[in-house]
Structure 1
Amino acid sequence: MPETKQTASDRMIEAAGRLFSERPFDAVSTREIASAAGVNLSAISYHFQNKDGLYRAIFKKIILDLKPVRVGLAILLENQLTAARDDRKAYADFISAFVSRVVDSAFSPSTRWKMRLLKRETEMPTDCFQLLMEGHVDIIHDLLGILLAKISGESPTSEKIKLEANAILSLCLQYALNEELVKARMGWSSIGSSEIQKIKKITTEMVLRSVNLGEYCGQIKEG
């Protein structure tokens, strides 16, 4: 199937997103964005009104691109809970799949700059922070919270469950967000499929132990 040609607005979103992932908003000029995207400077105002509009469009596109991750986890959770009833092994299988999908998404080549930009936005929030929370982060947290609540008997809206969900998601993402540190510490020249499998295995085992499902370490399905 032939590759779909990027539109001018898509090229600007991609180019600007990569630049914003490396430097703060004010350190990236519209002229630099236009040059990187191969468009005239006036194209930014034509498509997005201004740099702020382009920045917001980047986050809308990231949220749209991450929709398959959200939908896939929602379907998996619904199927697992329907089949599980009180089967703790099924809960462990979902956790394995959750960790695997989040780690794979974070390390995907097409996602790398997006992860850096999301990290920058959470560290130095702009008006797009709420957009990011409502469009993606809250949904992923809530899905994980439903399972954690089922395992523990707590309310999915309790502070304990929210904090646990945050800790687990942060654990899954931290390897990709701190790739250079991980490579230096592990002595890895790069992080490829073999290293990612090791990351998923140890992360899954840590999460299982944290929710009192440690007995299933080593006998979980691949995510």
Structure 2
Amino acid sequence: MHKPDHLTEHDHTEEQRRTRTDGTQSRQRLLHAAMRLFAAQGFATTSTREIAIAAGTNIAAISYYFGDKAGLYRATFRSMSPCTPEAVECFTDAALPLRAMLSAFYAMLLGQLKQGEDARVGMRLWFREMLEPTGLWQQEIDHGVRHAHEALIRTLGRHLGLDPAADGDRLARLAYSVAGLALHMMVSREVIDVLSPQLMKDDAAIDRWIGRLVDYAEALVQLEHAAPTLP
């Protein structure tokens, strides 16, 4: 006896939903396993077989979702990049006052710290790429970091009434100083966990620190506003 048509369509829809869900989960498991292995061993010495076993899937899934090991590495590396076009757009909104702009900027850079162990592994992956470059770090600078840095310069220039074309070095120094407050948190996470673990013990602690960074950065901007022009 055949099922009514509406049940057949429902079963088909459910099967499609399960397939999409399973596919998303498989892809995420591969990314998660690859991040840990690439961070610990580097790109060259990590095999697709190791990744597939760690992810609980088969090697063919790597080809299906990422093309090859290099494609998986690119996806893993870029999944940790905070400087997405959407995030940059959030802090460069011309309607934002200075404090709100700085808050959005630090939320972009430091939001991933709330991912716990994944954040630590992601930072180790970045360190590994810098020590054993495959070319992705340069691509990240060219297509992610550079865009965010130049956007921060323009935004700080707008708040200070300075022209990036005429005051580029002055604004660049300020932009590096503002970003450096956050970068220290990122690269020193494991040291902080040993010396002052309470400062980053949970999301609330991280938010408190980000709030203080906004205070520090606002003071830097105000100091720059009052400072004489440097060569």
What TM-score comes out, normalization by structure 2 length? 0.69
Partner residue of 2:156?
A: 148
- Please tell me whether the aligned partners of residues 199 and 209 of structure 2 are also in contact (alpha carbons under 8 angstroms): no
Partner residue of 2:9?
A: none
Rounded Cα–Cα distance in structure 1 between residues aligned with 2:171 and 2:109: 19
The verdict on how the C-alpha distance between 1:69 and 1:116 changes in structure 2, with shifts beyond 3 A counting, is farther
SS at 1:139 equivalent: helix
Listed as ranges, the gaps of 5+ residues in structure 2 are 1-17, 226-231
- Please tell me whether the aligned partners of residues 157 and 163 of structure 2 are also in contact (alpha carbons under 8 angstroms): yes
Rounded Cα–Cα distance in structure 2 between residues aligned with 1:159 and 1:190: 33
**Aligned length in residues:** 203
Rounded Cα–Cα distance in structure 1 between residues aligned with 2:33 and 2:56: 9
Which structure ranks higher in relative contact order (CA pairs < 8 Å, sequence separation ≥ 6)?
A: 1
Partner residue of 2:133?
A: 125
Partner residue of 1:85?
A: none
Give how far 1:41 is off.
Answer: 2.9
Rounded Cα–Cα distance in structure 2 between residues aligned with 1:188 and 1:128: 34
Give how far 1:25 is off.
Answer: 1.8
Give how far 1:16 is off.
Answer: 0.6
- Please tell me whether the aligned partners of residues 107 and 176 of structure 1 are also in contact (alpha carbons under 8 angstroms): no
Higher Rg? 2
CA-based RMSD of the aligned residues comes to: 3.5
Task: State the identity %.
Answer: 26
The verdict on how the C-alpha distance between 1:27 and 1:139 changes in structure 2, with shifts beyond 3 A counting, is same
The verdict on how the C-alpha distance between 1:64 and 1:193 changes in structure 2, with shifts beyond 3 A counting, is closer
Rounded Cα–Cα distance in structure 2 between residues aligned with 1:91 and 1:148: 8
- Bigger CA drift: 155-164 or 61-70? 61-70
Rounded Cα–Cα distance in structure 2 between residues aligned with 1:212 and 1:65: 25
The verdict on how the C-alpha distance between 1:199 and 1:35 changes in structure 2, with shifts beyond 3 A counting, is same
Counting only pairs closer than 5 Å after superposition, residues 140-179 of structure 1 correspond to structure 2 as 140-150=148-158, 151=160, 153-155=162-164, 158-179=168-189
Give how far 1:7 is off.
Answer: 5.0
Rounded Cα–Cα distance in structure 2 between residues aligned with 1:137 and 1:164: 16
